[in-house]
Structure 1
Amino acid sequence: MNGHAFTLCGATLVARPTGALWWPLHRLLCVSDLHLGKSERMARRGGGLLPPYETRDTLDRLARDITALDPAVVVCLGDSFDDLAAAAQVEAEALPPLNRMMAGRRWIWIEGNHDPGPVAMGGEHHSAFRLDGVTFRHIAQVAVAPDEAEISGHYHPKHRISGPARPCFLIDGCRTVMPAYGTYTGGLSAQAAPLADLFGKGGIAVLTGGTRALAVPLRPGRGGVRRQAGWR
């Protein structure tokens, strides 16, 4: 297995090198911060002009994860669209592949700060979603209930051990912050506030983007981090 398996308040999950999260018990696949339509939104608001291919690329990668795992449930953890106008603008491009991926499975859209309302693409729309003591929401809460595990996105965490920083999962015993899945997404250093304030000394980062998911301490000791074979 090229993913990193971990336990979150009793739930066994897998952080995949693609940036998706897999919960085998429920055949649940979770992705965060797709930001579909970002190039259109930037052009509409007078920002930089980006090649308008990120929607297709993001959905192609999501389709490969779905083909590999055949999930029964897919959770999109907020900011699936760069804004609600972008959702309308990319509908013609995004709807056919989304319909194919959504067919025969439960599809849950979580409300994000970029897309704070339902989109006309089917599925369910929730501000948060809870399953077996695990709550999926877009933005991490500073404090969670003692019996609650939390999975969130929003911050696009990145971490580095050498070379460029890579998108990463941030994980401790009760909380996971997911990397952004979208093609045109930046990132916030895992060492920066508020991310650094959410995780204690036992937190780990799971770097994505290579052939394997690589788990490293968020605050390594003096010996540093040893590169794992197969990582690139």
Structure 2
Amino acid sequence: MHHAFTLAGEMLHALPSGALFWPAQSLLCVSDLHFGKSERLARRGGSLLPPYETRATLEKLEADIDRTSPARVICLGDSFDDLAAADGLEEAARLRLARLMAGRDWTWIEGNHDAGPVEIGGTHRATVTLRPLTFRHIADPSQSAEISGHYHPKARLKGTARPCFLLDAQRLILPAYGTYTGGLPTHDSALQSLMQKGALAILTGPRALPIPF
């Protein structure tokens, strides 16, 4: 139920979950996991949310890893809601994440919520280039052949807003993968200024569904 497309000549799969799979590299990519969001909100005196989002996000990630069996995983930044949330990850979640990471080349891209390394294994980078594609947290308008996250894009279909990928000839922006993550509508000026004419929004849900941006 994925949507297959090409970027910079490479065949990529947008998965219904919001993950990206690059078969030629055996690579799974997710963005904006925001582990620990409920804990961070409570710690800072914000809204109290049921503390289950890390478990739900890990379950979804585990299902995508089981489905694709990737040799490499890239997390495109804001994987933790802040660095304290990384330190406060429950032991059960830490062990589950360690099992998912085991035997895989796992890279954490630095985001604006979690800039800097976290003591949880894997490698930590500002960007990763696997030619011809470059992975970063926030899209750079001066670059092409890039894959990024950050904006949590959402598009409406029949009145319902759904997280979506944004795709044009130059770049792909991934939806937020984590539970409890909000979204930026595709008509927002920040996204309108980034995407070229003819871009697609690929909706997540039961199947990955492309619609005009």
Q: TM over 0.5: same fold?
A: yes
Q: How does 1:73-92 map to 2 (within 5 A)?
A: 73-92=72-91
Which amino acid in structure 1 is aligned with residue 24 of structure 2?
A: L
2:207 to 205, 209, 212: 212
* Runs of 4+ with deviation above 6 angstroms: none
Q: What does the per-residue CA deviation read over 1:47-99, in whole Å, with 9 as the maximum and x for residues that have no partner? A: 00000000000001000000011000000000000000010011524210111
Q: How does 1:178-197 map to 2 (within 5 A)?
A: 178-197=174-193
Which amino acid in structure 1 is aligned with residue 39 of structure 2?
A: E
Name 1:230's counterpart in structure 2: none
Which amino acid in structure 1 is aligned with residue 139 of structure 2?
A: A
**Contact 2:164/2:174 (8 A) holds in 1:** yes
Name 2:158's counterpart in structure 1: 162
Name 1:16's counterpart in structure 2: 15
Consecutive unaligned residues in structure 1, runs of 5 or more? 219-232
Q: Distance in 2 between matches of 1:135 and 1:82?
A: 23
Q: Distance in 2 between matches of 1:216 and 1:164?
A: 13
| DSSP-derived class of the 1:108 partner | strand
- Shift, 1:128, TM fit: 0.4
Which amino acid in structure 2 is aligned with residue 42 of structure 1?
A: L
Percentage identity across aligned positions?
62
- Shift, 1:105, TM fit: 0.9
Name 1:30's counterpart in structure 2: 29
**Contact 2:169/2:196 (8 A) holds in 1:** no
- Shift, 1:191, TM fit: 1.1
Q: Distance in 1 between matches of 2:185 and 2:79?
A: 21
Which amino acid in structure 1 is aligned with residue 197 of structure 2?
A: K
Q: How does 1:103-182 map to 2 (within 5 A)?
A: 103-144=102-143, 148-182=144-178
Name 1:67's counterpart in structure 2: 66
Name 1:224's counterpart in structure 2: none
Which amino acid in structure 2 is aligned with residue 128 of structure 1?
A: T
Which amino acid in structure 1 is aligned with residue 112 of structure 2?
A: N
Q: Distance in 2 between matches of 1:172 and 1:200?
A: 6
Q: What does the per-residue CA deviation read over 1:169-189, in whole Å, with 9 as the maximum and x for residues that have no partner? A: 000012000000000100000
| DSSP-derived class of the 1:199 partner | coil
Which amino acid in structure 2 is aligned with residue 92 of structure 1?
A: E
TM-score by length of 2: 0.98
2:195 to 193, 199, 204: 199
Consecutive unaligned residues in structure 2, runs of 5 or more? none
Q: Larger radius of gyration, structure 1 or 2?
A: 1
